[in-house]
């Protein structure tokens, strides 16, 4: 009983944690980007209509 976890089973946890992080951040980034582009295009279009 050395107390050190050995074997490749550990990497499954590490990969799961990193993959989840990447996935969730990418999802929120993507959503925020698309929502911003859509809103700013709408705003720009209205401004052009007026002038």
Partner 1 sequence: MHAYANPTRFLAIARPLTPWLLGLGTVLLLAGAWAGLAVVPGEAKQGETARILYVHVPAAWLGMGGWTALAVSGLVQLVWRHPLAGIAARAIAVPGMLFTALCLATGSIWGKPTWGTWWEWDGRMTSMLVLLFLYAGFIALTMGDTGGNGGQRQGGSLSRGAAVYALVGAINIPIINRSVVWWNSLHQGPSITVRGSSIDGALLWPLGLTLLGFSFLFGAIVLMRMRRIIADNRVAARLRRLADDEGSGV
Partner 2 sequence: MKAKHQRLILALVALVGVAGAGVLAASALRDEAAYFRTPTEVAAGAAATGEAMRLGGMVASGSLQRQPDGLTIRFVATDGEASVPVEYKGIVPDLFAEDSGMIADGRMRADGVFVADRILAKHDERYVPPQMSHPPKTGKATPAA
Interface ranges with partner 2 (CB under 8 A) = 1-5
Q: How far is the CB of 14 from partner 1 (least distance, A)?
A: 5
The DSSP output letter for 28 is H
Q: How far is the CB of 9 from partner 2 (least distance, A)?
A: 9
Q: ∠ at Cα 16 (12, 19), nearest 5°?
A: 135
* 24 vs 26: CA distance, rounded Å: 5
Q: Which positions lie near partner 1, rule CB under 8 A?
A: 3-6, 9-11, 13-14, 16-18, 20-22, 24-25, 28-29, 32-33, 35-36, 38-40, 42-43, 46-47, 50
């Amino acid at each position: 009983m050395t107390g050190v976890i050995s074997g490749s089973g550990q990497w499954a946890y590490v990969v799961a944690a990193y993959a989840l992080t990447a996935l969730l951040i990418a999802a929120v980034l993507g959503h925020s980007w698309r929502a911003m582009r859509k809103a700013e295009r709408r705003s720009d279009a209205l401004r052009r209509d007026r002038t």
